[in-house]
Amino acid sequence: MLLNSQLIDESDVAAQPAPATQLLMLKPLHYRTVLAQAGKIHSPNNSYSSRGATGSLGKYQFNSVNLELLGYLKTGSVAEQRSQAGANALAINEAANWRGKNGCNSAGDFLINGGEQEAAIQALWQYNVNWLTKNTSFFAAATLGRQMGFLLVAQIAGTQAVLSFNDFLLGKNANGNATDYTGQFTLLDYFQAGQLASDFGASVQVA
């Protein structure tokens, strides 16, 4: 289970910037609630300047694979470092790998730009929704709460991991419930947090 400090309340939702885009059938406040949960899991203090132990960046702990996917790192930045220890941090910390997207010419630029991080997480989630809808049958058929759970799993482990995780839920793959980069929490913990946030978001009342 996630720690209490990683779970949201109404104050977290109130502090979460309103999303600029729409996702699935989520109403804006509902979407805002799940984003708040995604941020608090990775950064209990909701700090945009947070750096993870493996080098991932910001409130949502973007790793090098996601930063390359979203166009912040140059194509091939991850592959160049993959065989080396600490590859995630190496790819992110090399300033020459950054493309300058929206003024982000380095990890430091990305860390001080909270608005860019909010735009990036919304773009990543939309990409993941599109991928899961196209490549699976279970995602589109899932309840909204389960979809939010799958998106939190995809954020931490990638879309391919969602396939094996769904097999785990179906009792087909005992290895599908992997641990996260901290070694403390499982993908099931993230899935359940997404479901809880979705339930909370359906009824939360904040300004």
Q: Is the pLDDT of residue 4 over 80?
A: no
Q: What percent of the chain has pLDDT over 90?
A: 77
CA-based nearest residue to 56, from 187, 158, 178, 176: 158
List, for residues 52-109, the tens digit of each pLDDT value. Answer: 888 999 999 999 999 999 999 999 998 876 657 688 999 999 999 999 999 999 999 9
Q: What angle do CA 99, 104, 107 make, to 5 degrees?
A: 95
Closest-CA residue to 149 (of 171, 166, 167): 166
φ and ψ at residue 63, rounded to 5 degrees: -95, 175
Q: Work out the average pLDDT over 34-54.
A: 88
Question: For residue 6, what pLDDT is reported?
Answer: 84
Distance CA 175, CA 195 (A): 21
Write the secondary structure of 20-63 as one string of H (helix), E (strand) and C (coil): CCCCCCCCHHHHHHHHHHHHHHHCCCCCCCCECCCCCECCCCEC
Triad 168, 183, 85: Cα angle to 5° = 110
Average pLDDT over the chain, rounded to an integer: 92
Task: Give backbone dihedrals phi and psi of 134, rounded to 5 degrees, phi first.
Answer: -75, -35
pLDDT for the residue numbered 82:
64
Query: Does pLDDT of 182 surpass 80?
Result: no
Count CA atoms closer than 13 A to 205's CA, side-chain side.
Answer: 0
Question: What pLDDT does residue 94 have?
Answer: 94
Residue 168 pLDDT > 80, yes or no?
yes
pTM exceeds 0.85 for this model: yes
